[in-house]
Amino acid sequence: MSEQDTLIVWLKSLAPAEYRALPAARADAVRNWHARARSGLRRRSAAVPADPAQEDLAGALLEESSVIDAVVRLTTPQMQVFEAVQVLGDGGRRSELRDLLDVPDADTGKWLDEVLGELAKLALVWPDGDRLRLGTVAAWLETRIGGPLGAGLPLDALLPDLPTDVMRHIALNLGLNLARAERRDPLIALLARTLRDADLVRSVAAEAPAATRKALDRLASFGLPGTPGTASEALDLDVIMWAAARGLVILDAYQLAMPREVRLALRGLDYRAPFEPVPPRLTTTAADARPGEAANAATRAVELTEAILHECAARPLSALKSGGVGSRELNRLAKCTGCLVPTLRLLLEVVGGAGLIAWERGVALPTGEFDAWLSASTPERIGVLLEAWWRMDRLPLFVPEGEKPEPCLQPEAGVFFASPLRQAVVRTAATVPPGRAVSGPGALVDGVLWRLPMSFEEPEDAGLLTATIWDEAVTLGVIADYGPSPLAAGLASGRAAESVGELFADETTAAVFQNDLTAIVAGLPSLALSELLDGVADREARGTASIWRFSPDSVRRGLDRGLSAETLCSSLVDVSHTGDLPNVLRHLIEDVARRHGEVRVVATGCCLTVSDPALAEELVRVRVLEKLRLRAVAPGVLVSALDPATTLDLLRQAGYVPSAEAQDGTAFVARSTRRTTTRPRGR
């Protein structure tokens, strides 16, 4: 059976829950299938089914691009097992896999079975009785850094490139009978079958001259840990010709290669492929934690996000010609909101991922989702930002050396491994025990490499990118005091919403009001307390203790929200540690409340002055003038919700004879606007 047939058989054997989980694990494959289905049905009225059939799903899962997308997200043990199965080939036995891998004796199959189960959930390797089936193996996986396990290409890939007479020469040197291998294809099959015999390969190599034997050992060990240089570096051609004449190496005009089967045989009976099912242990120290640090950071991120989006609503961000928000607009927005530019870049990308802001006709505007977000509680707001950050395909704080930052909110921008990298960093940080901390982001690099080995060409890249994600996590309160907050564990386990509640579990609900017009909260203030004090006072400090200061302007903000002096004082007394307020604070609130509203600014389209009070009352009650929403603000003075021209027109249609006045009280005569042309007369 073909690989697709075996995959279909396995898919049909899955329990319903297991089958439903597979499209979620390989969402890229399902997206590709839906795109093709929509394209195929574009000219027809039929709807695209919600879930692909097993045959269609199998085809999507075996596509090379989808396999690559899944493989780059594998952890180190998953990649090690996947490479070992590649070496064994499709249909290799589980017992052969155990013999090839360096499985600890204490494992008794637990870790290996667990990793095989994870690969099966991704449809990269699946069971077929005692055998293991392997799907599509992309070409770059075969050739990447010497191929799987550093073992190079297999005989089936190398022998067809050799001329027929060269293969006959190899067969004769190996003492093979060519009676039934006169033609090319049988000859290739005969050589492949012979060189797959590990005992025969070792016996032939044992007869090689000393210099050739040394060269063979070097080629066989290439790709193993601690082997420097390249496979063919400084190899004497005369020395290697003996091995090439017997098929132990393949030599042609383009390459020198040792077949995979030969390389594994020459590594010896004791060779075991690496298998590291346990992540590297982090070096930690005792933590000097500050209570509420993570919660303060998360709350601050919510406050800045709200300020950013309100400012974008008032003055939308303009897009560059090339797309995205440039440094000029970012600097303006940073100045208006008091937000640092790097933090602003991060939060803009997060709200973009959360759907709270979007592009419309060249400007970035808050969406309807922003209104729903504003009406939610602070924990719910934090949860929305965290979920968007967790799956975000952007790295807004990463700037390669010597380059300028990329514009924010570019519609088509994205880094394919950004989300897996972010999750690897957080999951590594989440393993730090409670009460412990690490020295910095560099301490997480080994753990990140273990969780995402395929995403980095150089270890230095892992260090730079881990530091970038670390800074993002600190800004959002996922990491605090060089250790994970409850948010890290919540994100790693899929319980982000619950972790926000845990973050605010040890909160303070009372404040100490002092005669210097300050309010002090020791520890982490509750969300309700923070919202109350932020509405009527200015926060001056965060951390172990939070401090707010009252002023005439801050109290006025509270009154502007519709609070009365009595309501405000009552609300503050309810959260007072002593159950009362200092007299100086009461006097301040009462004084501001007494002067509040002495001057009222009325939002209106225009103003109407009516000489007859009875006529003014009549205008307010006339049904045909309801569109104006007339309201009396003083005897004989009405305000209209519409502009002067529309108001005059509706009054005249209703049978009244209004006149128009300019702002200085003089009569206003409307003149028609005359359109002109620059075209000369006579043309």
**How confident is the model at residue 496, as a pLDDT?**
84
Percent of the chain with pLDDT over 70: 89
Instruction: Indicate the residue type of 422.
Output: R
Tens-digit pLDDT profile for residues 118-177: 999 998 999 988 899 887 775 556 656 567 888 888 898 889 989 899 999 999 999 888
Is pLDDT above 80 for 77?
Answer: yes
Average pLDDT over residues 438-445: 93
Highest mean pLDDT among 15-19, 495-499, 591-595: 591-595
For residues 505 and 535, the model is more confident at 535
Using alpha carbons, list the distances in angstroms from residue 481 to 293, 297, 474, 508: 7, 11, 9, 20
Whole-angstrom distance, CA of residue 192 vs CA of residue 178? 14
Average pLDDT over residues 425-429: 95
Q: Which residues are CB-neighbours of 412 under 8 A, at least 6 positions away?
A: 323
Is pLDDT above 90 for 63?
Answer: no
Residue corresponding to tokens 């007869």: 207
Q: Which residues are CB-neighbours of 608 under 8 A, at least 6 positions away?
A: 616, 619, 630, 637, 638, 639, 640, 647, 658
Q: Of the given ranges (41-55, 271-285, 389-403), which has the lowest mean pLDDT?
A: 41-55
Q: Which residues are CB-neighbours of 40 under 8 A, at least 6 positions away?
A: none
Strand positions, DSSP E, 413-531: 436-437, 479-480, 483-484, 507-508, 512-513, 518-522, 524-525
Q: Of the given ranges (98-107, 201-210, 357-366, 562-571), which has the lowest mean pLDDT?
A: 98-107
Residue corresponding to tokens 């519709």: 562
**How confident is the model at residue 676, as a pLDDT?**
35
Average pLDDT over residues 349-353: 94
Tens-digit pLDDT profile for residues 477-497: 999 989 999 999 999 988 888
Residue 286: phi, psi to the nearest 5? -65, 135
The vertex-450 CA angle with 444 and 455, nearest 5°, equals 95
Closest CA to 125 of 180, 73, 86: 86
Q: Of the given ranges (146-150, 537-541, 668-672), which has the lowest mean pLDDT?
A: 668-672
Residue 425: phi, psi to the nearest 5? -65, -45
Residue corresponding to tokens 């995403």: 455
**How confident is the model at residue 46, as a pLDDT?**
45
Tens-digit pLDDT profile for residues 295-328: 889 988 998 999 999 999 999 999 998 889 999 9
**How confident is the model at residue 680, as a pLDDT?**
42
**How confident is the model at residue 81, as a pLDDT?**
93
**Helix, strand, or coil (residue 182):** coil
Strand positions, DSSP E, 129-169: 131-134
DSSP annotation string for 338-365 = T--HHHHHHHHHHHHHTTSEEEETTEEE
Instruction: Indicate the residue type of 52.
Output: P
pLDDT band of 75, cuts 50, 70, 90? very high
Tell me if 80 sits within 8 A of 275, measured CB to CB: yes
Tell me if 586 sits within 8 A of 569, measured CB to CB: yes
Average pLDDT over residues 532-547: 86
For residues 289 and 398, the model is more confident at 398
Q: Classify residue 453 by its DSSP letter.
A: G
**How confident is the model at residue 150, as a pLDDT?**
84
Residue 30: phi, psi to the nearest 5? -70, -40
For the purposes of burial, counting CB atoms within 10 Å of the CB of 546, is it exposed (0-12), middle (13-18) or buried (19 or more)?
buried
- For residue 385, give both structure tokens: 């930002």
Tell me if 312 sits within 8 A of 333, measured CB to CB: yes
- For residue 540, give both structure tokens: 């001056």
DSSP annotation string for 559-594 = HHTT--HHHHHHHHHHTBSSSS--HHHHHHHHHHHH
pLDDT band of 339, cuts 50, 70, 90? very high
Residue 606: phi, psi to the nearest 5? -165, 170
Average pLDDT over residues 498-506: 81
- Chain-wide mean pLDDT for the chain? 85
Tell me if 350 sits within 8 A of 388, measured CB to CB: yes
Q: Of the given ranges (257-261, 396-400, 452-456), which has the lowest mean pLDDT?
A: 452-456
Tens-digit pLDDT profile for residues 188-242: 999 999 999 999 999 999 999 999 999 899 888 875 654 444 444 456 777 889 9
Is pLDDT above 50 for 372?
Answer: yes
Strand positions, DSSP E, 39-147: 92-93, 125-128, 131-134
**How confident is the model at residue 551, as a pLDDT?**
94
CA atoms within 13 A on the CB side of 476: 33
Whole-angstrom distance, CA of residue 536 vs CA of residue 593? 13
